[in-house]
Amino acid sequence: MRPPLDQDDRSSSLSAKAVAEVLLSSDLLETLPDAIVAVDRAGTIVQVNSQTQELFGYDRDELIGQKVEMLVPENYRREHHHHRENFAQTPKARRMGAGLDLFGRRRNGSEFPVEISLSPVSTEHGIFVLSAIRDISDRKQIEEELRRAHEELYQKTVEQLGESRSRLASIIDSSEDAIISKSLDGTITSWNKGAERIYGYTPEEVIGKNISLLAPTDHPDEIPEILRKISRGESVEHDESVRVTKDGRHLDVSISVSPLRDAKGDIIGASAIERDITAQKRAEGQIHQSQKMEAIGRLAGGVAHDFNNILGIINACAEFLRDRLDPAAESSKYIENIKKSIERGSSLTRQLLTFSRSSVIQPCVLDLNERLKDVGKLLRPLMGDDVEILIVSKSPTAVVEADPGQLDQIVVNLAVNARDAMPRGGKFILETRAERFDEGFAEQHQAMSAGKYVVLAVSDTGNGMDEATASRIFEPFFTTKEMGKGTGLGLATVYGIVKQSAGHILVYSELGHGTTFKIYLPSADHKIGLETKPSEVETVSPKRQGTTILLVEDDEIMRSLTRQLLQEHGYTVVEADDGKSALEWVESHPGPIDLLLTDVVMRRMSGPELVERLNASQPNLKVVFMSGYTGELIAEREVLKRGITLLEKPFSRTALLNTIHTTLG
Ligand SMILES: Nc1ncnc2c1ncn2[C@@H]1O[C@H](COP(=O)(O)OP(=O)(O)OP(=O)(O)O)[C@@H](O)[C@H]1O
Ligand SMILES: [Mg+2]
């Protein structure tokens, strides 16, 4: 066994031994949990405890007297040497190599992480250093595992966040609705594809602009009010309002807005989901209208029925009285007046019963073409000399199942109205044709189902009517005629008959431009063995890309539906709401227009006028006119030359696409 003290210091070896025995006594050191190594100034090991032997795998004898560096991995030894010298300069108890990773080296050469505390022990033989060495492999491993777990978690979170963010973005972009976010002052900060589809602006055109650009001029306060609500932390749910698109169309929209908050929870903006409900509103309007007519019908029918019974009683009593009175007596005049009034009353109730569809009818299968020839004769004296009557059959047969008397009544009532609308004469046109409606058509016209119909179009070149009048004409007792001239039951009766025959009636009219009524009665071809061949089913022309259509139509809903149909079929559509704006658009956009699809009668510039103006620069422009008026009426009014392509409203998807396809050639 080597002496524990500096080998050169022979004189002090005894007392050094004593110090070693006391301070560095293995008894004391054995009580400590850590491996303890005592070294002298020169770095020679003077004492170790059994924990050291265990930790490093050496016997005590193999350690005492050796340089402490033997316990340090080779590549750390030089550095260790420096540290040791530094420590000798300023010896004080401290952790060794704070902040550094320290390693020990076992006898078998394996290395392991350690933590070392150093304490100087001053003796009269100089300074010894006690190193408490602790194996921190376990702690390091736990630390490492924790770090790895953290890293994995972080990585996963980043991935998941990215994933959910892109999933969110794709959900937002695939939404049919407009999803728009904006700051509290209304500046648009995000704009999805739905918003682009609905409003027509690209994100580049609107991000950074104020959301008020979508507000109609007559509702300037609505958006600021919504933003004020949002800044108070309130939300807006399914508010119905109106918004304006890039091309100036007004849309009915349902809007839900909620506050956007930052990480601290402060409100920094608003997020809105906006749905285009224009088509839905229109359908609701149609349903509402037919419900209203239904209700009025029930009421009128009920009243008429009871009233008829009362008239019956009065009539019976009047007849009793008449039998008991001398016909020459003064009082029998009164009886005659009562009888006349009863007749007027019965005629009224009859009409009301017809409107309410409760009159008794005797339907039979008949050809409307034949029937019209007979009614035509009746009309002559009714219409007066200055009205020209035209009867046009566009299909060889027009077979329907209806009550002939009722059909006559329809024609007579419409003829009387037409005559009243043409005080200075004009033309009265009756047209028949067979038409088939596909599912697409039925979808747009709520009440109508797909199938084959006979269309009876009744037109006049008279005064026409405005929208407000046209929307009420089928109501019983609605009249614009002066007192005593009209009861307002003519069209109500027509409506009742058409409905009772499972048909539909539509009206197209504009003030100063005449009127067309279109009555659709289900075809009864099958009842006389004229079954439709399946080959008659129409096919839609193939899709086209890269063709630009200028669509000019003043009815907003009609325009939007037509645009949608065309776009779905691959056409590029430019819209205008009348001839004048269409012309302005063409003048400011020199790009090519392949086809003009235009309404005929419009407020500021009619379709034919627009074509004339455009022909100056584009003489070969292809044109399709569309109108609710019939081709006959339009030709009669000399609005359009004969032979021009006219698509009559209402048209089916197939009719629209095929007409455009054929015209494009
Ligand atoms: N061809 C038409 N041209 C212009 N306006 C029309 C035409 N047909 C009907 N109207 C308008 O519709 C209203 C209602 O017509 P309807 O036939 O139901 O009643 P009326 O003609 O006023 O009275 P009645 O037919 O009972 O004598 C008319 O008052 C008129 O304003
Ligand atoms: Mg009338």
pLDDT digits (tens, 9 = 90+) for 551-580: 999 888 788 888 888 988 889 999 998 899
Question: Mean pLDDT in the chain?
Answer: 86
* Residue 443 pLDDT: 62
Length of the chain: 665
Query: Sorting pLDDT into bands at 50, 70 and 90, what band is 597?
Result: very high
- Determine the pLDDT at residue 9: 45
Instruction: Quote the tokens at residue 167.
Output: 């999933």
Q: What is the pLDDT of residues 340-350, one digit of tens each?
A: 999 888 888 88
Residue 448 pLDDT exceeds 80? no
Q: Is the pLDDT of residue 535 over 50?
A: no
Q: Side chain identity at 593, as an amino acid letter?
A: I
What does the pLDDT average to over 378-406?
A: 90
Higher pLDDT, 181 or 293: 181
- CA dist 421 → 416, 479, 528 (Å): 9, 13, 38
Rounded-to-integer distance, Cα 247 and Cα 200, Å:
7
Pocket-testing residue among 347, 350, 417, ligand 1, by greatest number of atoms within 8 A of Cβ: 417
Let me know: does 304 contact 218? Beta carbons within 8 Å: no
Say how many CA atoms lie within 13 Å of 656 toward its Cβ.
Answer: 28
Q: What are phi and psi of 254, to 5 degrees?
A: -110, 125
Q: By alpha-carbon position, which residue is closest to atom 29 of ligand 1?
A: 479
pTM assigned to the model: 0.61
pLDDT tens-digit readout, 129-138: 889 999 999 9
Mutate to test the pocket of ligand 1, among 344, 422, 473, 485 (most ligand atoms within 8 A of CB): 473
**Closest residue CA from atom 1 of ligand 1:** 418
Cα 633 to Cα 513: distance, rounded to the nearest angstrom: 10
Closest Cα to residue 600, out of 592, 590, 609? Answer: 609
- The more confident residue out of 257 and 485 is 257
3-state secondary structure 505-556: EEEEECCCCCEEEEEEEEECHHHHCCCCCHHHCCCCCCCCCCCEEEEECCCH
Over 90: is that where the pLDDT of 294 sits? no
256 near 239, Cβ under 8 Å?
yes
Q: Each residue of 112-157: pLDDT tens digit?
A: 999 988 888 877 777 888 899 999 999 889 989 999 999 999 999 8
Long-range contacts of 242-248 (CB under 8 A, 24+ apart): 242/216, 243/199, 243/214, 243/215, 243/216, 243/274, 244/214, 244/215, 244/216, 245/198, 245/199, 245/200, 246/199, 246/200, 246/201, 246/205, 247/200, 247/575, 248/577
Kindly list the protein residues whose Cβ atom lies closer than 6 A to any atom of ligand 1: 413, 417-418, 421, 460, 462-465, 469, 473, 478-481, 486-492, 515
The pLDDT of 409-421, averaged and rounded, is 93
* Ligand 1 atom nearest 514 alpha carbon: 3
For residue 145, the model assigns a pLDDT of 92
What does DSSP assign to residue 33? S
> What single-letter amino acid sits at 469?
T
- C-alpha pair distances (Å), 164 with each of 158, 161, 273: 10, 5, 20
Beta bridge partners of 455: 433, 520
- pLDDT classification of 22: cutoffs 50, 70, 90: low
Dihedral sign from CA coordinates of 321, 324, 330, 333:
positive
Ligand nearest to the CA of 475: 1
Q: Please compute the mean of the pLDDT values over residues 188-216 and round it to a whole number.
A: 93
Torsion of CA 354, 358, 360, 364, to 10 degrees: 80
With a cut of 70, say whether residue 17 has pLDDT above it.
no
Determine what percent of the chain is predicted with pLDDT higher than 90: 37
1, 48 in Cβ contact below 8 A? no
CB 152 within 8 A of CB 135: no
Q: Exposed, middle or buried, 386 (CB in 10 Å: 0-12/13-18/19+)?
A: exposed
CA 282 to CA 311: how far, in whole Å?
42
What's the pLDDT band for 469 if we cut at 50, 70, 90? very high
